[in-house]
Protein backbone atom coordinates (compact mmCIF):
# COMPACT_ATOMS: atom_id res chain seq x y z
CA UNK A 1 0.00 0.00 0.00
CA UNK A 2 1.40 3.43 -0.96
CA UNK A 3 1.68 6.22 1.59
CA UNK A 4 -1.20 8.10 -0.10
CA UNK A 5 -3.36 4.96 0.03
CA UNK A 6 -2.56 4.45 3.72
CA UNK A 7 -3.38 8.08 4.50
CA UNK A 8 -6.60 7.86 2.48
CA UNK A 9 -7.65 4.75 4.42
CA UNK A 10 -6.88 6.49 7.73
CA UNK A 11 -9.05 9.50 6.91
CA UNK A 12 -11.83 7.44 5.38
CA UNK A 13 -11.98 5.60 8.70
CA UNK A 14 -11.71 8.85 10.65
CA UNK A 15 -14.57 10.40 8.64
CA UNK A 16 -17.09 8.24 10.52
CA UNK A 17 -16.08 9.83 13.84
CA UNK A 18 -14.81 13.19 12.63
CA UNK A 19 -17.80 15.33 13.59
CA UNK A 20 -18.68 13.64 16.88
CA UNK A 21 -17.00 16.40 18.90
CA UNK A 22 -16.90 19.14 16.28
CA UNK A 23 -18.93 22.33 16.55
CA UNK A 24 -18.69 22.51 20.34
CA UNK A 25 -16.19 22.56 23.20
CA UNK A 26 -12.52 22.44 22.31
CA UNK A 27 -12.97 21.54 18.64
CA UNK A 28 -15.59 24.23 18.18
CA UNK A 29 -13.18 26.77 19.64
CA UNK A 30 -10.39 25.70 17.27
CA UNK A 31 -12.71 25.94 14.26
CA UNK A 32 -13.85 29.41 15.40
CA UNK A 33 -10.26 30.61 15.73
CA UNK A 34 -9.23 29.23 12.33
CA UNK A 35 -12.23 30.86 10.67
CA UNK A 36 -11.44 34.12 12.48
CA UNK A 37 -7.99 34.01 10.88
CA UNK A 38 -9.32 33.17 7.42
CA UNK A 39 -12.39 35.37 7.07
CA UNK A 40 -10.67 38.80 6.66
CA UNK A 41 -8.56 37.40 3.81
CA UNK A 42 -11.42 35.39 2.25
CA UNK A 43 -14.16 38.02 2.12
CA UNK A 44 -15.21 38.54 -1.50
CA UNK A 45 -12.29 36.41 -2.79
CA UNK A 46 -11.80 33.14 -4.66
CA UNK A 47 -10.67 30.64 -2.03
CA UNK A 48 -9.25 27.11 -1.99
CA UNK A 49 -9.06 24.91 1.10
CA UNK A 50 -6.36 22.26 0.91
CA UNK A 51 -7.54 19.31 3.00
CA UNK A 52 -11.13 20.42 3.54
CA UNK A 53 -12.25 17.26 5.35
CA UNK A 54 -16.03 17.22 5.80
CA UNK A 55 -16.27 20.91 4.93
CA UNK A 56 -16.88 22.45 8.35
CA UNK A 57 -14.60 25.45 7.77
CA UNK A 58 -15.11 25.53 4.00
CA UNK A 59 -18.86 25.95 4.55
CA UNK A 60 -18.23 29.02 6.68
CA UNK A 61 -15.71 30.44 4.20
CA UNK A 62 -18.24 29.91 1.39
CA UNK A 63 -20.55 32.28 3.26
CA UNK A 64 -18.12 35.21 2.89
CA UNK A 65 -16.08 34.36 -0.23
CA UNK A 66 -17.04 34.93 -3.87
CA UNK A 67 -16.00 31.31 -4.56
CA UNK A 68 -14.96 28.51 -2.19
CA UNK A 69 -13.50 25.21 -3.38
CA UNK A 70 -11.99 22.34 -1.39
CA UNK A 71 -9.76 19.35 -2.07
CA UNK A 72 -9.14 16.31 0.08
CA UNK A 73 -7.53 12.90 -0.29
CA UNK A 74 -10.37 11.05 1.45
CA UNK A 75 -13.55 10.06 -0.40
CA UNK A 76 -15.21 9.48 2.97
CA UNK A 77 -14.56 13.05 4.07
CA UNK A 78 -15.57 14.46 0.67
CA UNK A 79 -18.89 12.60 0.73
CA UNK A 80 -19.88 14.54 3.83
CA UNK A 81 -18.63 17.83 2.32
CA UNK A 82 -20.76 17.25 -0.78
CA UNK A 83 -23.78 16.62 1.45
CA UNK A 84 -23.26 20.23 2.59
CA UNK A 85 -23.55 21.36 -1.02
CA UNK A 86 -19.87 22.31 -1.27
CA UNK A 87 -17.67 22.24 -4.38
CA UNK A 88 -14.92 19.75 -3.62
CA UNK A 89 -12.46 17.51 -5.50
CA UNK A 90 -10.46 14.42 -4.59
CA UNK A 91 -6.74 15.21 -4.84
CA UNK A 92 -3.56 15.17 -2.74
CA UNK A 93 -2.07 18.37 -1.35
CA UNK A 94 1.07 17.69 -3.38
CA UNK A 95 -0.72 17.75 -6.77
CA UNK A 96 -3.50 20.31 -6.87
CA UNK A 97 -5.80 19.90 -9.91
CA UNK A 98 -5.88 23.59 -10.86
CA UNK A 99 -4.08 25.92 -13.24
CA UNK A 100 -1.61 28.53 -12.01
CA UNK A 101 -3.10 31.58 -10.29
CA UNK A 102 -6.70 30.36 -9.92
CA UNK A 103 -7.32 31.59 -6.35
CA UNK A 104 -6.85 34.77 -4.33
CA UNK A 105 -6.54 32.87 -1.05
CA UNK A 106 -5.28 29.32 -0.48
CA UNK A 107 -5.47 27.97 3.07
CA UNK A 108 -4.91 24.71 4.92
CA UNK A 109 -5.60 23.67 8.52
CA UNK A 110 -4.53 20.45 10.29
CA UNK A 111 -3.24 18.93 7.05
CA UNK A 112 0.34 19.95 6.25
CA UNK A 113 1.62 18.37 9.46
CA UNK A 114 0.59 15.02 7.98
CA UNK A 115 2.27 15.53 4.59
CA UNK A 116 5.85 14.16 4.36
CA UNK A 117 6.45 16.08 1.09
CA UNK A 118 5.47 19.34 2.76
CA UNK A 119 7.69 21.54 0.58
CA UNK A 120 5.92 20.20 -2.51
CA UNK A 121 2.51 20.93 -0.96
CA UNK A 122 3.55 24.49 -0.09
CA UNK A 123 4.89 25.06 -3.59
CA UNK A 124 1.57 23.84 -5.03
CA UNK A 125 -0.37 26.20 -2.77
CA UNK A 126 1.76 29.11 -3.97
CA UNK A 127 1.46 28.03 -7.61
CA UNK A 128 -2.35 28.09 -7.69
CA UNK A 129 -2.47 31.44 -5.85
CA UNK A 130 -2.59 34.69 -7.84
CA UNK A 131 0.43 37.04 -7.70
CA UNK A 132 -0.03 39.18 -4.60
CA UNK A 133 -2.43 36.61 -3.14
CA UNK A 134 -2.37 35.05 0.34
CA UNK A 135 -1.52 31.55 1.53
CA UNK A 136 -2.50 30.54 5.09
CA UNK A 137 -0.55 27.42 6.05
CA UNK A 138 -1.03 25.80 9.45
CA UNK A 139 1.80 23.84 11.10
CA UNK A 140 2.09 21.92 14.38
CA UNK A 141 4.37 23.83 16.73
CA UNK A 142 6.87 22.02 19.02
CA UNK A 143 7.15 25.15 21.20
CA UNK A 144 3.66 24.80 22.65
CA UNK A 145 1.54 23.29 25.40
CA UNK A 146 -0.19 21.18 22.76
CA UNK A 147 3.12 19.55 21.84
CA UNK A 148 3.69 18.60 25.48
CA UNK A 149 0.19 17.16 25.74
CA UNK A 150 0.66 15.13 22.55
CA UNK A 151 4.11 13.93 23.66
CA UNK A 152 3.16 12.95 27.20
CA UNK A 153 -0.41 11.77 26.66
CA UNK A 154 -1.78 8.67 24.90
CA UNK A 155 -2.65 8.78 21.20
CA UNK A 156 -6.31 9.69 20.78
CA UNK A 157 -8.72 7.31 19.02
CA UNK A 158 -10.04 8.40 15.61
CA UNK A 159 -12.21 5.30 15.03
CA UNK A 160 -13.01 1.95 16.58
CA UNK A 161 -9.72 0.50 15.33
CA UNK A 162 -7.28 3.41 14.82
CA UNK A 163 -5.53 6.10 16.82
CA UNK A 164 -3.69 9.27 15.78
CA UNK A 165 -0.45 7.27 15.89
CA UNK A 166 -1.48 5.58 12.63
CA UNK A 167 -0.80 8.68 10.53
CA UNK A 168 2.48 10.50 9.81
CA UNK A 169 2.79 13.66 11.93
CA UNK A 170 5.47 16.34 12.03
CA UNK A 171 6.12 19.39 14.23
CA UNK A 172 7.87 22.42 12.72
CA UNK A 173 9.23 25.42 14.68
CA UNK A 174 8.95 28.96 13.26
CA UNK A 175 12.56 28.96 12.04
CA UNK A 176 12.02 25.82 9.96
CA UNK A 177 8.74 27.15 8.58
CA UNK A 178 10.53 30.28 7.37
CA UNK A 179 13.10 28.13 5.56
CA UNK A 180 10.34 26.10 3.84
CA UNK A 181 8.58 29.06 2.22
CA UNK A 182 8.79 28.45 -1.55
CA UNK A 183 10.67 30.67 -3.95
CA UNK A 184 8.42 33.39 -5.28
CA UNK A 185 6.69 33.91 -1.94
CA UNK A 186 7.51 35.45 1.45
CA UNK A 187 6.45 34.92 5.04
CA UNK A 188 4.75 38.04 6.38
CA UNK A 189 3.25 37.00 9.74
CA UNK A 190 2.24 34.22 12.14
CA UNK A 191 -1.09 33.65 13.89
CA UNK A 192 -1.28 31.26 16.84
CA UNK A 193 -4.15 28.91 17.71
CA UNK A 194 -4.30 27.21 21.12
CA UNK A 195 -1.73 29.26 23.02
CA UNK A 196 -3.03 28.76 26.59
CA UNK A 197 -5.25 25.68 26.51
CA UNK A 198 -3.40 22.79 28.21
CA UNK A 199 -5.85 20.01 27.30
CA UNK A 200 -9.02 19.72 25.23
CA UNK A 201 -11.01 18.88 28.35
CA UNK A 202 -10.07 22.20 30.00
CA UNK A 203 -12.33 24.09 27.57
CA UNK A 204 -15.39 22.19 28.87
CA UNK A 205 -14.85 23.21 32.51
CA UNK A 206 -17.12 25.90 33.99
CA UNK A 207 -15.54 29.38 34.22
CA UNK A 208 -12.09 28.12 33.18
CA UNK A 209 -13.39 27.13 29.75
CA UNK A 210 -14.89 30.57 29.18
CA UNK A 211 -11.69 32.29 30.30
CA UNK A 212 -9.56 30.10 28.05
CA UNK A 213 -11.70 30.84 25.01
CA UNK A 214 -11.47 34.58 25.60
CA UNK A 215 -7.72 34.35 26.11
CA UNK A 216 -7.26 32.33 22.92
CA UNK A 217 -9.06 34.94 20.83
CA UNK A 218 -6.91 37.70 22.34
CA UNK A 219 -3.69 35.75 21.73
CA UNK A 220 -4.48 34.92 18.11
CA UNK A 221 -2.55 37.86 16.65
CA UNK A 222 -0.52 38.88 19.70
CA UNK A 223 3.24 38.41 20.32
CA UNK A 224 2.26 35.16 22.08
CA UNK A 225 0.98 33.74 18.79
CA UNK A 226 4.32 31.95 18.20
CA UNK A 227 3.48 29.70 21.17
CA UNK A 228 0.30 28.43 19.53
CA UNK A 229 -0.03 24.67 19.21
CA UNK A 230 -1.32 25.37 15.70
CA UNK A 231 0.94 27.94 14.07
CA UNK A 232 -0.56 29.62 10.99
CA UNK A 233 1.99 31.15 8.61
CA UNK A 234 0.71 34.03 6.50
CA UNK A 235 2.55 33.78 3.19
CA UNK A 236 2.26 36.26 0.32
CA UNK A 237 2.93 35.28 -3.26
CA UNK A 238 5.18 37.83 -4.95
CA UNK A 239 3.34 40.20 -7.28
Cβ contact 34:58 at 8 Å: no
Q: Which pLDDT score is estimated for 237?
A: 98
Say how far apart CA 77 and CA 61 lie, in whole Å.
Answer: 17
Q: Which pLDDT score is estimated for 12?
A: 76
Cβ contact 119:129 at 8 Å: no
DSSP assignment letter at 139: E
Show contacts of 88-93: CB within 8 Å, 24+ apart. 88/52, 88/55, 88/58, 92/4, 93/50, 93/51, 93/121, 93/124, 93/125
Cβ contact 219:228 at 8 Å: yes
Q: Which pLDDT score is estimated for 65?
A: 98
Structural domain boundaries in the chain: 3-237
Report the SS3 class of residue 9: helix
Q: Which pLDDT score is estimated for 169?
A: 94
Show contacts of 32-40: CB within 8 Å, 24+ apart. 33/193, 33/194, 33/216, 33/217, 33/220, 34/109, 34/138, 34/193, 34/230, 34/232, 35/60, 35/61, 36/217, 36/220, 37/136, 37/191, 37/193, 37/220, 37/232, 38/105, 38/107, 38/136, 39/64
The model's pTM: 0.94
Q: Classify strands 87-90 and 129-140 as parallel, antiparallel or unpaired.
A: unpaired
**pLDDT digit string, tens, across residues 28-56:** 999 999 999 999 999 999 999 999 999 99
Pick the CATH number of 3-237 from 3.40.50.300, 1.10.3720.10, 3.40.50.150, 3.40.50.800: 3.40.50.150
**pLDDT digit string, tens, across residues 151-190:** 888 878 777 778 888 889 999 999 999 999 999 999 999 9
Q: Which pLDDT score is estimated for 1?
A: 58
Residues of the chain with pLDDT under 50: none
Amino acid sequence: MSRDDATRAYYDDFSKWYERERGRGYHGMIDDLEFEITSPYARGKRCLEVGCGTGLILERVAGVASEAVGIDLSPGMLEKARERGLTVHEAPATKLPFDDGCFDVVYSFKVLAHVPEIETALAEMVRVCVPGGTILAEFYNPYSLRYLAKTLGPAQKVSETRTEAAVYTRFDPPSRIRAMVPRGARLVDFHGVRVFTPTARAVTLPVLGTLLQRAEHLALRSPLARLGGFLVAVIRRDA
